[in-house]
Each structure stands twice: as C-alpha cells, then as structure tokens.
Structure 1
Amino acid sequence: MKFHTTKASKIIGLHVFFGLFIFCSLSAKSQETLKPLPLIIDADTANEVDDLYAIVRAILEPNFNLIGISSAQFHTSPLASENTVEESQQINEEILKLMNVKGISLPLGSNSPLTEYGKPVTSEASKFIIETAHRMKKDEKLNIIILGSCTNVASAILEDPSIISKIKVHYLGFWHTVATNTYNKKEFNSGNDPIAVEVLLNTKTLDLNVMTATTSQKLVFTKQEVDRQLKNKKGVANYLIKRWETYERWWTKDDPKKEKWTMWDVAIIEALAQPEWSTVKGFLTPPENTQRTIGIHTNINTDKMKHNFWSALEKL
C-alpha cells in the first residue's frame, strides 16, 4: 500500500511539474508576444492624406514601441515645394503636439534622393536609424516602416552596413503581380528615389517585407465613415478631417467630392499591428536585382483592419 501511495505521489508530482513547465513556457511565450515592437516610421507625411492617419494609428498601438518618426522627401509631386522634407517634418511635429505625445524622436530626413548608387545622402534621420539599430539587444531587431521614399533607410544602410542584421524593413511601394511574380517599379513612392529602392532590393541579407501598392489599394475609407468617427471632435481628430477636406488631388479628376480615399499607409501599419490579417509570401526579387527571397503582402483583411483602426481611434 505504501508502494502504491509513493508511486501515485510521484505520478502526481510529475503531472504538476510538467503542468508548471508548460504554464511557464506559455507565459514566457505570451510575454514575448506582448513585448512592444521597437519601431521607426519613415514618412513623406506632407505628400497626401493617408500618412497622417497611419501615423496617428501607430502612435495609439500598444504593441508598438514607437521610437521615432523621420521625415522623408517627395520631390516628384506636382505640388512639391523646394523643401518637401521640411513640410513632412512640420506635420509630424504638429501631430505629436496635438496628441500631447512625448518621447518620440523626430529626426529630419534628406530633402533630396540618392543620385549615385552606393553613395548615401546623410541626414539626421539616417544617423538616427544607425544609432537606434545599434541600441537593439541581440535577440531583437529594429523595425522600420517606410511610407514614402527609401532615401533615409538606404542611406543608413550605405553609411553603416553593420546595421543590416539589426533591422527589419517594411516598405510600402511598387506594384506586383503574384501569379507571374512580375514587378512594376513605376509607382509614386518608388519613383521618388529609384536608386534607394535598388539598394533595398540588392542588399542580400536585408530582412525586407513589402506591402505593395497592388495589395494596399484594397483598403479604402469613405468620407462618410471618417465623418462619423471624427467629425466635431477637437485636436488631432479635427486635424485629420481638415487634411482630407483641404488636400488637392493632383493625380485624378475622379471623385471631385472626395468621398473616398485609398489608405495605402494604414494597410502596412495594421498589417504590422495584427500580422494575422495579412498574408505574406516569399518571392524572388526582380531579375535585374540581386536574386534573393523577400516577403510580399499578397492579401489583407480590410474589414478587420478598418474595425481595428476605428477602435484604436476611439481613444482620441
């Protein structure tokens, strides 16, 4: 009888041990999952409308550790001034002020694109990316979301290639056909610094995911839903409404009443906040580039992204 009791105790003890082991493992995994993602957003904020919405959304995301928002140039726009990066910088500063947010750095990016392959254009933004990347722990990477031209990130890579293993780049740009794996780089973001795009594609060991224009164009907001959520509110909510209403669309005469807007930039923010709402597949880079596999977002759940976006903005 004593033997059976001891054996039973051992069995119970083993069950308890393994139960605690599994619990601790799951807890550790949960903690890892809940750990905020170290992040820099590089944005041509003054270019259109959706950049502002994307930045506000990112600031409100609890799963992000938003370290900085750098400004980017967009010199090819017909509405471009001589200093587009300063325009982006100004809006970034206004957003943080309106949201009363502290602790997010706002480094100024380059006002001109790369003019020669392999030659960076140094800026506060490129230096900030390098410095932040080197502060990352061995088990983590600095995530960089590029919402506009790739100038600042490409420059950082060229200035200090040792950061390549320390960063993961999430780029919003070019068009892509999944069925044939064909690329069309004649897209606005890519066109604002074609050389910088080549740097990202040719950097063999760079961890690169791309939210293409082909995929992100599926996320569309209507003015009706924007008004329903933001109209008659103060602060940054009012700022977002005014941006929608006052920005002149130079590329099309369609939708003169501004009833819809493609939220290209919001798509990549939501995809990073909730990865399960976006399908990422591996594809070979274009034949003219260094042949390697990069991640491309091929499909997004727009309904869930919209719901998540407006749920987050309720905090305003």
Structure 2
Amino acid sequence: MKYLPQRLSLKIKHYFFNTLLFFCFSITIAQNSTSPLPLIIDADTANEVDDLFAIVRAILEPKFNLIGISSAQFHTSPLASNNSVNESQLINKDIIQLMNVKGVSLPLGSNKPLIEYGKPVSSEASRFIIETAHQMEQNQKLNIVVLGSCTNIASAILEDPTIIPKIKIHYIGFWHTPATNIYNKKEFNSSNDPIAVEVLLNTKNLDFNVMTATTSQHLVFTKNEVDTYLKDKKGVAQYLVNRWETYDRWWTKEDLEKEKWIMWDVAIIEALAQPEWSTIKEFTTPPENTQRKINIHTNIDSEKMNIDFWNTLKTL
C-alpha cells in the first residue's frame, strides 16, 4: 500500500481531530442539559398550607438536585409567634424526617426582616446561600426558589454581591398586570419584607424570575383530591392532610369547610419541573426601581400541573 501524500494525511488527521472534538463537545452539552437543577428552597413553611405541598413535590422531582431548604420569617401573620422562622424550621425538619431524605441541608433563616436598605440581616440561611453559590461550576447557576419573604436571599446578596452572576432567583410574590405592566407590591410575601423586595428589583444583572400571585392563584387543589390521593396513608401524606384540615385561614371567611385551596407555591415548583407549562415574558421593573428587565410568569397550564402533582404524589 502506498503512503498518502503528506498534505492529504494532515487533512485527514485534522478531520478526525475536529470530529472527535465535536463529539466530546456534544456529549458535554447533552450531559449538562440533563443534569439535575441545583436548587435551594427558601420557605415560610409554617405560614400556610401550600408551602408543605410544594416542598414535598420538589423532593420527589428527579430533575432537581435539592441542596437545601432554608426557613423564612412571616412576622405579619396574626397567627405567627415571635419566632416565626423557627416555626418554619420545625416543619422543614418534620418533612425531611418523614420522607427519610438524606443530604439536604436545613439552614435557619433570619427571624427579622431588613430594617434598613443596604444592611443585611445575616443568618445561617444567607451564609449557606453564599457558600453554595460559590461552589457552582463555571456557567452553572444556583437556583433559589423563594416561597415567602425575600429576607434571606436579599441578605446574601448584600453580604456578598459577587454571588449575583452565580444565582437565579424564582420568587413567589406581588401582583402584576401584564397588559399594562402595573405592579402591586401589597401582597403577603412582599409585605413580610418590602425592603428585601426592593433589593431584588434594584440589583443590576440579577437573574430575577417572578411567579406572581396574579398567575399562581389559578392553581387550585380540592379537598376531594387530597382525600383521594393522601387520606388513610401514613408518613408525610398524613402530615399534609392534617395541615390542610387543621390550619385556620385567617384572611377569609369564605369556604369555611376548606373544600379548595390555592396552591401558590406549587405553581413555581411545577413550572421549574415542566417549563413548557408556563409562559414567561420580559418586563421592565416598576418605575420607582432601577430600570432593568426581569422575567415574569404570565400564564400557567394549571390543569397539567394539577395532574402532574397528583401523579407524582402517588408514590407516597
């Protein structure tokens, strides 16, 4: 067999090298696209009912790498004690124990909201967020789902602004009218730390995504569904049923039998698990804030989210 000309031989070598490089790059992209989403949930779990359902759903989601569940304060609730963050902490511990979950940290958040703009209220939770954010690999972001007040994440940003490019915030809060881009910050989560909300809105280059109360209010569960899928079961299933039945809705006298419940927090968990079920649009921040773009969920497929939730919890 005759030897190939040197120029042709080099071309073949380059071809095989480039093909190998492309193959390796494609494998890396495929691996990254299927890697579990690094996630911290920051929750005022003891405030209501939906937080518990959202946390259980997130624990059962294989697309998530749930790193931690931090506790948040909810001091404006008439049912809250003087240590509302500890109430949330205790329920977080109960859920983890009942589901026998290993490897999920439970850092304690601040029991007080921010009292002055620019000054953080440091806590185990804020420091845990900072530490975890710095552990992210290059081009990877830590996803932080905020189900209550923004105290812990705002404090983390103020304590260490270098985490800003390393994090992506998913917040349940305020009311919003997409057609006119009008914001109403007089909403329960936002009212529990209005200064922290301003921090998130004003922080340039922060990847800030909001599931507003306007949108998430359309995801509603019924007591009949709860009984069908969870009644007469033990463990965390029984825990969820008991929470639904014993928690008093202080903000309304409608539906005293608690036949229905808005699952505000479940909406953002389902949207993260199945992004195609939520429409996200870009909006300019309110006029009183730093003018920049944030992402807002404007519509959800509540029917598909409902079905997916109960199909997932069948495993309990």
Query: Which TM-score band (shorter chain)?
Result: over 0.9
How far does the alpha carbon of each residue in 1:180-238 deviate from its partner, in whole angstroms, 9 at most, with x for none? Answer: 00000000000000000000000011000000000000000000011101000000000
Q: Distance in 2 between matches of 1:45 and 1:135?
A: 26
Give runs of aligned pairs for residues 92-171 of structure 1, distance below 5 A: 92-171=92-171
Q: Give the AA of the match of 1:294.
A: I
Q: Distance in 2 between matches of 1:281 and 1:227?
A: 36
1:69 aligned residue = 69
2:86 aligned residue = 86
Q: Distance in 1 between matches of 2:275 and 2:290?
A: 27
What is the count of residue pairs matched by the alignment? 301
- Percent identity between the two aligned chains: 75
How far does the alpha carbon of each residue in 1:142-197 deviate from its partner, in whole angstroms, 9 at most, with x for none? Answer: 00000000000000000000000100000000000000000000000000000000
1:200 aligned residue = 200
1:210 aligned residue = 210
CA apart distance, 1:31: 2.4
CA apart distance, 1:304: 1.0
Q: Secondary structure at the match of 1:46?
A: helix
How far does the alpha carbon of each residue in 1:37-60 deviate from its partner, in whole angstroms, 9 at most, with x for none? Answer: 000000000000000000000000
Q: Secondary structure at the match of 1:209?
A: strand
* CA distance 1:33–1:245, shift in 2 (3 Å): same
1:46 aligned residue = 46
Q: Distance in 1 between matches of 2:93 and 2:20?
A: 48
1:6 aligned residue = none
1:258 aligned residue = 258
Q: Distance in 2 between matches of 1:57 and 1:280?
A: 21
CA apart distance, 1:240: 0.2
- Shifted more, 147-156 versus 27-36: the winner is 27-36
How far does the alpha carbon of each residue in 1:10-62 deviate from its partner, in whole angstroms, 9 at most, with x for none? Answer: xxxxxxx9999998776554422210000000000000000000000000000
2:299 aligned residue = 299
Q: Distance in 2 between matches of 1:62 and 1:18?
A: 35
Q: Secondary structure at the match of 2:31?
A: helix
CA apart distance, 1:110: 0.2
**Residue 290 (1) aligns with residue 290 (2):** yes
1:235 aligned residue = 235
Q: Give the AA of the match of 1:57.
A: R
TM-score, L = length of structure 1: 0.92
Q: Distance in 1 between matches of 2:315 and 2:282?
A: 36
- Aligned-residue CA RMSD in angstroms? 1.7
Q: Secondary structure at the match of 2:65?
A: strand
CA apart distance, 1:80: 1.1
Which runs of 5 or more residues in structure 2 are unaligned? 1-16
**Residue 187 (1) aligns with residue 187 (2):** yes
1:311 aligned residue = 311
Q: Distance in 2 between matches of 1:187 and 1:165?
A: 28
1:11 aligned residue = none
Q: Distance in 2 between matches of 1:19 and 1:249?
A: 62
Q: Distance in 2 between matches of 1:138 and 1:27?
A: 17
TM-score, L = length of structure 2: 0.92
Q: Give the AA of the match of 1:271.
A: A
Q: Secondary structure at the match of 1:280?
A: strand
Q: Give the AA of the match of 1:55.
A: I
Q: Distance in 2 between matches of 1:228 and 1:179?
A: 39
Q: Distance in 1 between matches of 2:26 and 2:161?
A: 36
CA apart distance, 1:313: 0.9
